[in-house]
Amino acid sequence: MGKFGLKGNTTRNGVIKTILNRWRTEGSQTAGFEGERPGGLRSSGSGEGKPVTENALAESPQEFANRLGLSFKSFFLLSRALTHRSYLNEHPEAIEDNERLEFLGDAVLDFVVGAWLYNRYPDMPEGDLTRMRSVLVSTEQLAEFARKVDLGRALRLGKGEMQAGGRDRPALLCDAFEAVIGAIYLDSGIDGVRRFIEPMLETAADEILSKQTIEDPKSMLQEWAQGQGFQAPRYIVRSSSGPEHSKQFEVDVLIDGQIYGSGIGSSKQAATKAAAADALHRLGLLDD
């Protein structure tokens, strides 16, 4: 039966009852987090003689919300948004990680950022609006937003992820930031998301325009290649290394069968972008 692999009605009924009890317990505790240690870990008595983990010292969801001035009706949502799948693997009592909220937050961000750009820059052409949105919702930029609000401090991570520096890993921070956006949307709607993200967008957009980094290097390279009569560039993963939670990808970009650039990144997306930028540097089309 799904991931439980259970047989028999008695066993199923017992598991269903356990799950429902967990939901009731989580729901009652997350409303005020009674009986939980900072970081969302449940206290089990006095705790004497037990080692204090990094998660136990992490910022709790209420502390995170209070620090940022966020008003949550359901701290259960925020707790889920701050829970990485590596934590769930080590703590079966936790109900859900943040991946579903990440999916929702990604879609909400695309809409909110697009609408903000449309209203903020009424004379900007459609192509520039698209490129600007691409930069503002990129892994690197969302990870930077996460750092600005010190999101890593409030994350619940597994031991391996913590030891690998997960609290400052760009891909993980980006995903967690999207999950927080998803939680804010479910709790406070689009207006709540706008209040949270628009001040950050204002600062980031000014920096992007002042540095003239609106152009995505992959788009720039494709325009150059097609202008020269070539097919669109092809990106090939040369290698990947490292543990599953902290991989590094090496990517080559080929035009007309020749390698024009190479890049390394913590995700395939980041590595292909770095490869495109490397190719533009070699062609003299992008300044340092």
Which residue ranges make up each domain of the chain? 99-211, 219-283
Say if residue 48's pLDDT is above 80. no
Cα(9)–Cα(138) distance, integer angstroms = 47
The H or E element that residue 281 is part of is: helix 268-283
User: Quick one: pLDDT at residue 54?
Assistant: 55
Least Cα distance to 222 among 273, 163, 171, 166 occurs for: 273
Instruction: Compute the average pLDDT of residues 209-215.
Output: 67
Whether the CB-CB separation of 115 and 107 falls below 8 Å is answered with no
Say if residue 160's pLDDT is above 50. yes
The CATH number that domain 99-211 falls under is 1.10.1520.10
26, 102, 106, 175: the catalytic one is 106
Active site residue 191: no
List own/partner pairs for 5-9 with CB under 8 A and 24 or more apart.
none
Tally Cβ neighbours within 10 Å of residue 75. Answer: 22
Q: And the tokens for 94?
A: 């936790």
User: Quick one: pLDDT at residue 96?
Assistant: 86
Cα(166)–Cα(4) distance, integer angstroms = 28
Active site residue 106: yes
26, 59, 178, 278: the catalytic one is 178
- CB neighbour list of residue 157: distance below 8 Å, 6 or more residues apart: 54, 55, 84, 86, 87, 166, 167
Give the predicted TM-score (pTM) of the model: 0.62
Decide which of 41 and 235 is more confident: 235
Are both 99-211 and 219-283 of the same fold?
no
* Overall fold of domain 219-283: Double Stranded RNA Binding Domain (3.30.160)
Say if residue 34's pLDDT is above 50. no
Cα(205)–Cα(148) distance, integer angstroms = 15
Whether the CB-CB separation of 185 and 81 falls below 8 Å is answered with no
Cα(186)–Cα(197) distance, integer angstroms = 15
Whether the CB-CB separation of 239 and 225 falls below 8 Å is answered with no
Say if residue 45's pLDDT is above 70. no
